[in-house]
């Protein structure tokens, strides 16, 4: 199978205006993925599926990722004059990166028997109602998993034909997989609170009125 660098070069050559970046995974595997620009996402996806050498005809998995605002430290080599002699030394800089949400797709070729090729798209920020293009017109298997990302992360997928919550009930507020989500004490809309959820919800129940002595009903009152 072609390397990510080769796929990037051929896709950009075949689709004028397309911008693809190579992103290494932060894990020890350092697996490379292709970050595709949202404007041309459908065109790139169609290229990956239909290109005779790639034929990435199966999307096995789609997942969401929430990236909070963060500061990244980078070490670079710079030249400095020390004691009259020019030397190369390490210099650490900090880069502030604004938060965003991602959708990550793992693609395989059932025809060519290779994969995965990992592609990803990013929102501009983490605001409510952020949008990405849906890739279900290219890979139908992404349908339910894009719904999960919509439900749990709040990303709206333009072009998805049935975008609605799939795990949480319709009245549920917020998106539980966002990293700054805080679980509520009172699940006002949960159909049947139970176990520890019920115990927390009880803290919000109105206290039962206490009857004073004059209002208490005795057995004599009931039977005469």
Which two three-digit tokens encode residue 75? 């070490």
pLDDT digits 0-9 by tens, 29-51: 788 999 999 999 999 999 999 99
Q: Kindly tell me if the per-residue pLDDT of 5 is higher than 60.
A: yes
Of 30 and 60, which is predicted with more confidence? 60
pLDDT digits 0-9 by tens, 138-158: 999 999 999 999 999 999 999
Q: Could you give the CA distance from residue 136 to residue 142 in angstroms, rounded to a whole number?
A: 5
Which residues, in sequence order, are bridge partners of residue 96?
71
pLDDT digits 0-9 by tens, 63-103: 999 999 999 888 888 888 887 788 888 888 888 999 999 99
Class of domain 4-66+101-208: alpha beta
pLDDT attached to residue 20: 97
pLDDT attached to residue 221: 52
Of 2 and 172, which is predicted with more confidence? 2
Q: Counting Cβ atoms within 10 Å, is residue 102 exposed (0-12), middle (13-18) or buried (19+)?
A: buried
pLDDT digits 0-9 by tens, 159-217: 999 999 999 988 888 999 999 998 776 655 556 667 777 777 777 777 777 666 555 55
Domain ranges of the chain: 4-66+101-208
pLDDT attached to residue 30: 80
pLDDT attached to residue 217: 53
- What pTM does this model have? 0.78
**Which backbone phi and psi does 157 adopt, to 5 degrees?**
-100, 105
Q: Could you give the CA distance from residue 6 to residue 1 in angstroms, rounded to a whole number?
A: 10
pLDDT attached to residue 195: 78
Q: Kindly tell me if the per-residue pLDDT of 4 is higher than 80.
A: yes
pLDDT attached to residue 214: 54
Mean pLDDT of the region 123-130? 93
Among residues 32, 38, 1, which one has the least CA distance to residue 17? 38
């Amino acid at each position: 199978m072609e390397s990510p660098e080769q796929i990037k070069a051929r896709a950009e050559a075949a689709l004028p205006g397309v911008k693809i970046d190579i992103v290494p995974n932060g894990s020890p595997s350092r697996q490379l993925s292709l970050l595709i620009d949202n404007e041309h996402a459908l065109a790139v996806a169609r290229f990956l599926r239909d290109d005779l050498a790639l034929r990435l005809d199966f999307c096995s998995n789609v997942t969401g990722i929430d990236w909070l605002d963060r500061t990244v430290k980078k070490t670079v080599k710079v030249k400095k004059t020390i004691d009259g002699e020019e030397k190369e030394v390490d210099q650490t800089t900090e880069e502030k990166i604004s938060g965003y949400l991602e959708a990550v797709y793992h693609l395989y070729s059932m025809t060519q028997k290779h994969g995965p090729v990992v592609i990803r798209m990013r929102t501009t920020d983490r605001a409510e109602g952020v949008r990405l293009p849906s890739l279900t017109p290219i890979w139908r298997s992404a349908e339910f998993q894009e719904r999960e990302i919509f439900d749990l992360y709040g990303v709206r997928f333009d072009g998805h034909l049935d975008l609605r919550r799939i795990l949480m009930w319709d009245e549920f507020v917020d998106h539980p997989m966002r990293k700054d989500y805080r679980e509520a004490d009172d699940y006002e809309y949960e159909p049947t609170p139970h176990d520890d959820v019920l115990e927390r919800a009880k803290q919000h129940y109105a206290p039962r009125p206490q009857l004073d002595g004059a209002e208490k009903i005795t057995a004599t009152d009931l039977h005469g």
